[in-house]
Amino acid sequence: MAAAAGAAVAAATAEPDDGPLLPGSPVGRRAVCSRPYFVVLMVFAHLYVINVLGLLLFVHISSDDGGEREPRKEAPGPVQDAPPVLPVSSGHFDPQALPRLQGIKVGHKQKLQLVPNKIHVMKTLSLKPLLFEIPDFLSEDECKLIIHLAQLKGLQKSQILPTEDYEEAMEMIDISQMDIFNLLDHNQDGQLQLKEVLTHTRLGNGRWMTPESIREMYAAVKADPDGNGVLTLEEFKQLNIRDFHKYMGSQKVKMSDLVRNSQHTWLYQGEGAHQVMRSIRQRVINLTHLPPEIVEQSEPMQVVRYDQGGHYHAHMDSGPVFPETACSHTKLIANESAPFETSCRYVTVLFYLNNVTGGGETTFPIADNRTYEELSLIQNDVDLRDTRKHCDKGNLRVKPLQGTAVFWYNYLPDGEGWVGDVDEYSLHGGCLVTEGTKWIANNWINVDPNKRRQLQFQEEMARYTNSENEDQSEWTVDKSYSNVHVEL
């Protein structure tokens, strides 16, 4: 139960490297054991329904036919004579509604001009989440260059093995055993089923928990006397949570046991970066139609390598922003205190850098499901989030093809042209690489759902970027990665 307890209190932030894996990732709808928090969640649930209805109405009004169409003329985008790399924006942000592409329907194709003298075709893969595929987004030479630059920079493990620091951190958390039980008891029936515990063990202490590993843990600490895999409230009260910590600490952990098994590094894309890196960033601006200021002040490119046996269990790239959370990129500028933070990644653009010999697909287990229910992800010991065992059971799998890009929105619209609630259908993961090596790259575009904070962030970034004071210019997002420029 150490894993369950850890997930219960880790709360809603996303891993600063690649996704919600380190302390603070989203762990379900009830991340804080407090009555006010439940009220907040209920409000967000109603807003979710309203936003979906608004989105359907918007699509209905905007689509006059199902045929192919050019990108919307009113949205900022490239023109025939535009250079492949445009100058960096001044940083002044016009508080306009964020452009959002239309999916129309699954299989719909749209023609795009992302670079001069070339037409790309973008295909809609799903509407929930709004997901697109663009073949030949990168050339073969560009893919090879990105891999080469990543190797020169040096890659590090994306997730390290659990350490004793986890137990020490757990002991510092002030949360009662009854609160833990109430959090895990999703349906509030006074019993903990295996799938309820598994739903809240996405984090734990970094290990991926399975029905088998939960049963083994129960047996080791004598938590389930009748062996039925269900813990009653009375059985739970008799437990010593520290026994679970000790058990978890005594188990030998392999990389394949972790939530993810990969290596990664970051590549600088700001002013003065390699021309290919700048060109790709401009292409992303042209693709998404988002204001250049927002894209330029988002995260650098992350390059990830999965060797044979590599995987990344299903996760979301961003977490919900409740009153108890703040976005990582705006928290410092806004000077607001919040107990938890998350990487507010409005858009994910994923690039496949090579053809994978075996496995390595990107899975979206619940893409275009009619409804979403967290517990339904685990049925009869089949966990759809488990990308090592059950990738073939997901709704959608994208095969990695060199040069292809896929991009999707991690948040729904709020009905007023801004970022709304997290799109739970954006749950995705990297399937097990069964043969060869898989190389991908990610561009995340960060937008705070709190519009006021985002505008304040843009204003501050513009001021620091334009300042001649070197100390102030260090505030720019890419500045901490500027050492990569030297290596390039």
Q: Tell me: the pLDDT tens digits for 102-111? A: 999 999 999 9
Q: 407 with 347: CB under 8 angstroms?
A: yes
Amino acid 380: pLDDT: 87
Residue 163's pLDDT band, with cuts at 50, 70 and 90, is low
Highest mean pLDDT, choosing among 32-41, 76-85, 383-392: 383-392
Amino acid 67: pLDDT: 38
Rounded Cα gap, residues 265 and 301, in angstroms: 8
Which residue bears the tokens 């010999």?
Answer: 357
* Buried-exposed string 88-122: b where 16+ CB fall within 10 A, e elsewhere: ebebebeeeebbbbbbbeeebebebbbbeeeebeb
SS3 142: helix
- Could you give the domains of the chain? 108-159+259-468 (2.60.120.620), 175-252 (1.10.238.10)
Share of the chain above pLDDT 90, in %: 57
Q: Which helix (H) or strand (E) holds 212?
A: helix 211-220
Amino acid 338: pLDDT: 81
Q: Tell me: the pLDDT tens digits for 325-375? A: 899 999 888 777 787 889 999 999 999 999 999 999 999 999 999 999 988
Amino acid 168: pLDDT: 61
Amino acid 167: pLDDT: 57
8-state DSSP, 419: E
Tokens of 280: 């790709």
Tokens of 117: 């003298």
Rounded Cα gap, residues 118 and 120, in angstroms: 7
Burial of 207 (0-12, 13-18, 19+ CB in 10 A): buried
SS3 28: coil
* Helices of type H across 341-429: none
Sheet holding 362-364, edge to edge: 260-261, 311-315, 428-430, 362-364, 396-398
Residue 205's pLDDT band, with cuts at 50, 70 and 90, is low
* pLDDT of 74 over the 90 cut: no
For helices 241-250 and 211-220, the axis angle rounded to 10 degrees is 110
Lowest average pLDDT, out of 64-78, 222-236, 472-486, goes to 64-78
Q: 302 with 18: CB under 8 angstroms?
A: yes
Neighbours of 434 (CB within 10 A): 13
- Kindly report the average pLDDT of the chain as a whole number: 79
User: Average pLDDT in the 4-16 region?
Assistant: 38
Lowest average pLDDT, out of 145-149, 368-372, 394-398, 457-461, goes to 457-461
